[in-house]
Amino acid sequence: MNRKLYARGALAAYVYLAPALVGLFLLTLVPVAAVIVISLTKWSVLQPPRFLGIANYLNIFSTDFYFVHSVLATLYFAIGAVVVGIVYSFTVATMLNRRIPGRGFWRSAFFVPYVLPAVATAVVWSWMYETDFGVFNFFVNSLGFHKVPWLQKSAYAVPSLIIMTVWGVGNLIVIFMAGLQNVPRSFLEAVEIDGGNAWHKFRHVTVPMMTPVIFFNFIISVITNLQVFVPAYALTSGGPGDSTLFMVFLIYREGFMRNNMGYACALSLVFFVFIALLTLLIFSTSRKWIFYAGE
């Protein structure tokens, strides 16, 4: 291709890319740099910022017990929601992959919670979780157990929110189902010819062939669940006893309810580094357990 033409093409490409690149700079790169700078100050917006050095960070790691509670709560929730969510969605997808009557209807039924406003479903769940009159405790009581203070006691709050979250993982189910349809039939038949049963097929063909899809779902669900916010804001306000004081809620509370912009930025940066390291760790171990048919 001649040089002039290439230059014209490149110019056109940058015109097409301009909005996305402006977005990349103004919504990601510049804000990340700004988070670093602001995190070194004390700033309440009403008054001009005051330079503090690394005091905010020292505070986070030494005296701020909210931070410790928040990290533990977030990890507890995220690990629970990811593990239960993946197992649940994989199981449902495997079952929906069979030829059962009314499959189309049930596929929609399992998927639909995903598209609904999280606040609306949280309100409905909070009513079902209600300790004295809620329907869950009616069932619990009917089975002969004591009523469970689902959202009122710190020991139950996170598991309750995990159940509610797992209910909404329709997107994972759909991705798993699509993956299952790409598992080669001939491999499954080969196991049958060798005398293997359904478990052998599942364990030695389906699961290995599905590892790339499992990995994809794993990553998106780790990133989504670490950023949990709605239930902490709309249902529990971080309580009871900090048990649902998730990171994003803590950042929101420091920044927008208490106007500690500097401190909130320091928290944001710690949160960012934490997620980045975790993602790197997951990616670096992925080579060991993912099977790519092409390699």
Partner 1 sequence: MRRLRNGSNIAVTIVVYVLGLLVLFPFFWMARSSFMSNIEINAYPPPILPRVWHLENYPYALTVFPFARYFLNTLTITVPSICGALMTATFAAYAFARLDFPLKRLWFTLVIGSMLMPGAVTIIPIFLGWTFLGLSNSYVPLIVPAFLGGGAFNIFLIRQFLMTIPRDLDEAATIDGAGSVRILFTILVPLITPVLLAVGMFTFILYWNDLLGPLIYISDQNRQTISQALAAFRSGYGTDWKSMMAAASMSILPCVALYLIGQRYFVEGIVLSGLKS
CA-to-CA dists, residue 274 to 75, 130, 149, 271, 292, angstroms:
11, 34, 32, 5, 28
Least Cα distance to 97 among 25, 40, 175, 44 occurs for 175
Binding test (CB under 8 A) with partner 1, winner from 68, 109, 277, 293 = 109
Restricted to residues 8-37, the positions that interact with partner 1 (CB under 8 A) are 9-10, 12-14, 16-17, 19-24, 26-32, 34-35
Angle at 96 between CA 104 and CA 288, to 5 degrees: 135
Judged by CB under 8 A, which stretch of 56-64, 79-87, 199-207, 243-251 contacts partner 1? 243-251
Percentages helix, strand, coil for the chain (3-state, rounded to 5) are 75, 0, 25
Q: Binding string to partner 1 for residues 68 to 107, with x set by CB under 8 A, is what? A: ------------------------x--xx-xxxx----x-
Q: Quick check: 265 binds partner 1 (CB under 8 A)?
A: yes
CA distance 134 to 125: 9
Q: How far is the CB of 177 from partner 1 (least distance, A)?
A: 8
Q: Would the CA dihedral through 74, 79, 80, 81 be positive or negative?
A: positive
CA distance 118 to 131: 21
Q: Which residue has the tokens 């596929």?
A: 107
Angle at 55 between CA 50 and CA 56, to 5 degrees: 85
Binding test (CB under 8 A) with partner 1, winner from 85, 149, 238, 255 = 255
Nearer to partner 1, 54 or 280 (CB): 280
Binding test (CB under 8 A) with partner 1, winner from 46, 63, 115, 194 = 115
Restricted to residues 37-56, the positions that interact with partner 1 (CB under 8 A) are 38, 45
Binding test (CB under 8 A) with partner 1, winner from 51, 61, 145, 272 = 272
Binding test (CB under 8 A) with partner 1, winner from 6, 61, 145, 291 = 6
Binding test (CB under 8 A) with partner 1, winner from 217, 221, 225, 243 = 217
Binding test (CB under 8 A) with partner 1, winner from 68, 123, 277, 281 = 123
Q: How many residues are recorded in the chain?
A: 295
Restricted to residues 124-163, the positions that interact with partner 1 (CB under 8 A) are 124-128, 132-133, 135, 138, 142
Nearer to partner 1, 60 or 226 (CB): 226
Number of residues in contact with partner 1 under rule CB under 8 A: 91
**Contact yes or no for 263/67 (Cβ under 8 A):** no
CA distance 56 to 6: 50
Binding test (CB under 8 A) with partner 1, winner from 206, 244, 248, 253 = 248
Judged by CB under 8 A, which stretch of 73-81, 153-161, 174-182, 203-211 contacts partner 1? 174-182
53 phi-psi bin (left φ>0, alpha ψ -120 to 50, beta other): left
Least Cα distance to 165 among 56, 79, 260 occurs for 79
Per DSSP, what are the bridge partners of residue 118?
none
Binding test (CB under 8 A) with partner 1, winner from 54, 155, 198, 277 = 198
Nearer to partner 1, 35 or 79 (CB): 35
Nearer to partner 1, 77 or 125 (CB): 125
Q: How far is the CB of 98 from partner 1 (least distance, A)?
A: 5
Least Cα distance to 172 among 133, 214, 127, 123 occurs for 214
